[in-house]
Amino acid sequence: MNKDKNNLNYHCERNEAVYMCRCKLHRPIQGFCNIFWIATGFRPRKDGRQTNMKKSGFTLIEALVAISILVISVIGPLSLASKGLSYSTYAKDEITAFYLANEAIDVIRNIRDTNTRSEKPWLDVPGDNMDIKITEKCKGPKGCYFDVWKNPPNLRTAFVTGDIDSTLKTCNSDSGLVRFGYAFDWPNSIIPNECADIKIDQTSFLRNITIDEVGWNPAGLPTEIRATVKVSWTTKTGIERSVTITENLFKLGVI
């Protein structure tokens, strides 16, 4: 067989009734030789002997098994990482919702304590001389909502009867304080542009408050109320979540 390296033609040998191609650096027909090797199962070696690829290579089943193992080893950790990120986001939102609900309970408790210390009716909402009870503001199935940053310290205007369709907003001030509310008139009146529009972000949290009288004295005056605060939100995956806090508050005696 002519082995002259300057010969640009490919040469074929008949070996066991199968033609085996050997290419001598002839690029235009390199692809044809590759196809020939795959089709026949024989591939020439540098020493001139043929190699049966069907016997020495991977079978289709072996390749599929290897690919399956690789896919499982990659998808498993990615799935765990995705679930871990989802759970951490839910935990963050749940903690935020808990503090928002607890904030409303604290405001109601503060109204009771302030009125008791000032020897005023313990359920009156401070802010003006009108006798408006917080139970009247927040009774019924729709309850009420409040915005302490709208016009403090006038809590009478901060409490609004009925539910609200808008979710809470956050004011991310330069001082690092994050306020939750709907309108931020009071911070801006103290520090100009403390809560400018560019610093306000919309959240996914809704807060609703209901207050009911559950205890009375012999004269028919309320001595106990039940405050229920529900904070709901929708996750990024579209799942609705909520946190509800209920606390009973009693009329305090003045010593």
What are the pLDDT digits (tens) for 90-112? 888 999 999 999 999 998 998 89
pLDDT for 97 equals: 94
Question: Structure tokens of 81?
Answer: 């990482």
The count of domains in the chain is: 2
**Any domain includes 255:** no
Three-state secondary structure call for residue 214: strand
Burial of 114 from C-beta contacts in 10 A (0-12 / 13-18 / 19+): middle
The answer to whether residues 51 and 95 belong to one domain is no
Q: Is 0.85 topped by the overall pTM?
A: no
Q: Write down which residue in 79, 95, 128 finishes a domain.
A: 79
Q: Write down which residue in 27, 47, 79 finishes a domain.
A: 79
Residues 175-219: tens digit of each pLDDT: 778 888 888 887 777 787 888 887 888 899 999 999 999 999 999
In 3-state terms, the chain is what percent helix, strand and coil (to 5)? 35, 30, 35
The strand pair at 222-234 and 240-250 is best described as: antiparallel
d(CA 158, CA 183): 10
Domain of 195? 87-250
The answer to whether residues 13 and 125 belong to one domain is no
The answer to whether residues 182 and 158 belong to one domain is yes
**Any domain includes 141:** yes
